[in-house]
Amino acid sequence: MFYFYYFYVLMMFVLMVFLIYMWKMLFLSILIEFNLLDTGENGYSLVFMFDEKSLVFGFVVLMISMLVMIYSYFYIGFDYMFYLRFLIILFLFVLSMILVIFCPMVLSMMLGWDGLGLVSFCLVIFYGNFMSLKSGMVTIYMNRVGDVMFLLLIMMMWGYGIWNSSVMYLNDVFWFYLLLVMAGITKSAQIPFSVWLPAAMAAPTPVSSLVHSSTLVTAGLYILIRHWDYMLMLWVQLFICLLMLMTMIVSGLSALMEMDMKKVVAMSTLSQLGLMTSMLFLGEVDLSYIHMINHAFFKALLFLSCGVMIIYGWGGQDSRHLMYSFLGYLVVLLCFFCSNVSLMGFSFTSGFYSKDLMLEVLCGDYNIFVLLMVYVGCLMTLMYGLRLIMLGFGNLSNKTVVYSLLDNMNLIYLMFFMGVMMFLVGWFNYWNFIVIEWWNVNMEMKFFEFIFFWGGIYIYMNMFNYVMNWFLMEYGFMKWLTVSGISFFLMLIDIFVQMDYTWNELIGFNGMKYVLIWFTYVYKYYYLFVKVILVMLLLLTLLLL
C-alpha cells in the first residue's frame, strides 16, 4: 500500500512539473489529436487541448489532489483495506476531472463528465452505512440530470457530424448552449439542483476538500467558461444570473443556521459558486475564472482544517460538541482563521484580489438590482465566515485530548505549505492573468458597504423567527422540491396504478362496455316501457273524469 501511495504522489508531482514546463513554453494553444474511429462521414478523434486556462486549472487540480492524498494518509491510513480502496477511487476521480479539463470535444468530455458522477457516488457511499447510501443516491440522481443534457448535446452534434461546438450552425446555437448551461448548473449545484451538495458531506473529509474546492462542483463552471464565446442571448443570461444570485443568498443564509461544521463549509462553497457563475453570466469571464482558482486553494485549506478539528476533537461534526486543546493546534487554528478571512475577502488575501474587483466592476454599467443582490450575498459571506471563526475558536478547552497534532509533524508542514500557497496564488493571479479596466469606487459606495454590513448584523440578530430558521435549515425548501418531490411523484404514480384497477376501469373501455350494455337493455325494453307509460296515462285520465 505504501508503494502505491508514494507512486501516486510522485506521479502527481511529475504531472505538475510537466504542466508548469508546458505553460512556460506556450504562447498559443496546442492540440494533440488521436484518430480512434473513422466511419466516413462521422469520424471520431480524441483531442487534448493545452492552453493557458486548461494548463493552469489542471495544475491546480493536480496540486490539491497531491496534498489531499498526503492528508488522507493521516486521516484514514490506519485501515489498510479502506485506504487502498480510497486511493483507487480517488485516482479515478482525478483522472475523470483531467479528461474534463483537457478534452475540448463534447463526446470525449462526456467520458470524464460521466466518470465524475459515477466515481463521486462511490466516494459518497464510502463508509457503507444507510445515511451514506441515501446521500449517494441523491447525488447521483441530481448529477444524472446533467448527464442527460450532455447526451442530448451529443445527439444534436451527431446529427450534424461535428464534435467541435465552435462550428455549430447559428440557428442551433441557442439550443446547444441552453443544454450546456443546464448541464453546467446541475454539476455546480445551483438552484434548483442544490440539494445534492450538502448530501455529499457524507463522504470522507479529504474527498470533501477535493470535491468542493477544485473538481466536481467546478466542472460545470469550467465548461461554461471554456464555451463562453458562443453563449446565450442577453435576456437569458440575465435570468440565469438572477437565479445564481438567489443560490448565493439562500445558501449564505442557510450557512448562518447550520450547526454541522462541514455543512456550513459546504454552504459557503455553494454561495461562492453562485457568485462565480453570476459574474460569468454578466460577462466577466476572467474574474470568474480567477476567483475559481483562488477559491480552490482557500476552500481546500478550510476543509482540511475542519477535518483535523473533527478527527482530533472527540469526533462528530456538530460544532456544539467539538472540543480540543489549544496546545498543538496553533498551526491548524491559524490555517483555519486565514482560510476564513480569505473567504470573507480580507485585504491582501487570495479571496480579496478577485472579490474586491468583482464589487468594483459591478459599480459600473450594471443593473442596480444585480448590484444589491451581489452585495447582500457578500454580506452573507462575511457573516457566516465570522460564524465559522466563532465556532472554531469557541470550542477551545484546557482538557487533555486523546490525540495530539504534534505527533504528526508532516501534517503540520502540509497545512503550513498550503496556507502559504493560498496567499501567493491570489497575488500571482492578480498580476499575471487579470486584464480588465481599472475601476475607481467613490467613498460613498465604500461607506455604503460599511452601513450595509452593520444593518445586516442587526437584522440577523433581532428579526429571525422559527419559521425563517426552518426555511433556511431546509435550504430554501430545495430538498422538498427535489428529493421529497420525486418521492411524492413516485407515490402519485403508485396511486395512479391503483386507480387503473378501480375507477379507470369504470371510466375506460370497460365503462364504455357497461354503458353500451345499458343502452342495449333500454332499446330492448323500449316498447314495453312505452306501453306501460301509455297505460298509466290512460288510468290517470279515467280517474280524473
Going from the first residue of the chain to its last (545 residues), give the mean pLDDT of each consecutive group of 10, the final group possibly shorter.
Answer: 55 62 61 70 71 82 82 69 77 84 80 82 78 79 81 77 57 72 82 77 72 72 79 69 83 79 82 86 83 86 80 63 58 82 81 80 75 82 79 58 58 81 80 59 65 61 49 50 51 51 51 58 58 69 65
Amino acid 123: pLDDT: 80
Which residues are CB-neighbours of 382 under 8 A, at least 6 positions away? 344, 345, 453
Amino acid 465: pLDDT: 47
Q: Are strands 324-325 and 396-397 parallel, antiparallel or unpaired?
A: parallel
Contact criterion met (CB below 8 Å) for 259 and 484: no
- First-residue to last-residue Cα distance in the chain: 115
Instruction: List the chain domain ranges.
Output: 133-477, 502-544
Amino acid 467: pLDDT: 43
Between CA 15 and CA 11 the distance in angstroms is 6
Retrieve residue 251's grid coordinates: 445558501
3-state helix, strand, coil in the chain (%, to 5): 75, 5, 20
Residue 165 host element (H or E): none
Between CA 20 and CA 26 the distance in angstroms is 10
Closest by CA position to 273, among listed 198, 333, 363: 198
Backbone CA torsion sign across 125, 126, 130, 135: negative
